Amino acid sequence: MPAVKLQDFELEYEWIGPQPGDKPTLVFLHEGLGSVSAWKDFPKRVVDVTGLGALVYSRRGYGKSSPLSFPWPTSFMHDEALSVLPAMLDTFNIKKAILYGHSDGGSIALIYAGSNQARVEAVIAEAAHVFVENLTIRGIVNAKAAFDGATLRTQLERYHGPNVDNTFRGWSDVWLRPEFLQWNIESFLPNIKVPVLVIQGEADEYGTLKQVDAIKNGCGSQVESLIIPECGHDPHREHPALVAQATDKFINRLLFGAR
| Domain locations in the chain as residue ranges | 3-254
Q: Are 228 and 202 in contact (CB under 8 A)?
A: yes
Count Cα atoms within 13 angstroms, Cβ side, for 225. 18
Cα 37 off chain centre by: 14
What one-character-per-residue DSSP string does 178-209 give?
A: GGGGG-B-GGGGGG--S-EEEEEETT-SS--H
Shortest CA distance to 19 belongs to which of 60, 42, 43, 47?
47
pLDDT over threshold 80, residue 31: yes
Shortest CA distance to 203 belongs to which of 251, 175, 177, 239?
239
Q: Any idea what the Cα angle at residue 163 is, between residues 160 and 166, rounded to 5°? A: 115
pLDDT tens per residue, range 183-193: 999 999 999 99
Q: Are 113 and 80 in contact (CB under 8 A)?
A: no
pTM of the model: 0.97
For the beta sheet containing 3-6, the strands, ordered from the edge strand earlier in sequence to the opposite edge, are 3-6, 9-16, 54-57, 25-29, 97-102, 120-126, 196-201, 223-228
* R_g (Cα) of the chain, nearest Å: 17
pLDDT of 35 reads: 98
Decide: helix, strand or coil at residue 223. strand
H helix or E strand, kind and range, residue 117: none
Q: What is the dihedral of CA 15, 17, 238, 211, to 10 degrees?
A: 70
Query: How far is the C-alpha of 253 from the C-alpha of 259, rounded, in Å?
Result: 6
Average pLDDT, the chain: 96
7 versus 75: which is more confidently predicted? 75
pLDDT tens per residue, range 116-168: 888 999 999 999 999 999 999 999 999 999 999 988 999 999 999 999 999 99
pLDDT over threshold 90, residue 61: yes
CATH 3.40.50.1820 corresponds to the domain 3-254: yes
Shortest CA distance to 35 belongs to which of 103, 120, 129?
103
Confidence band (pLDDT; 50, 70, 90) for 258?
A: low
Query: How far is the C-alpha of 190 from the C-alpha of 69, rounded, in Å?
Result: 33
Q: Any idea what the Cα angle at residue 227 is, between residues 209 and 28, rounded to 5°? A: 95
pLDDT over threshold 70, residue 91: yes
pLDDT over threshold 60, residue 72: yes
pLDDT of 7 reads: 86
Confidence band (pLDDT; 50, 70, 90) for 256?
A: confident
H helix or E strand, kind and range, residue 4: strand 3-6
- Average pLDDT of the residues in 24-43: 98
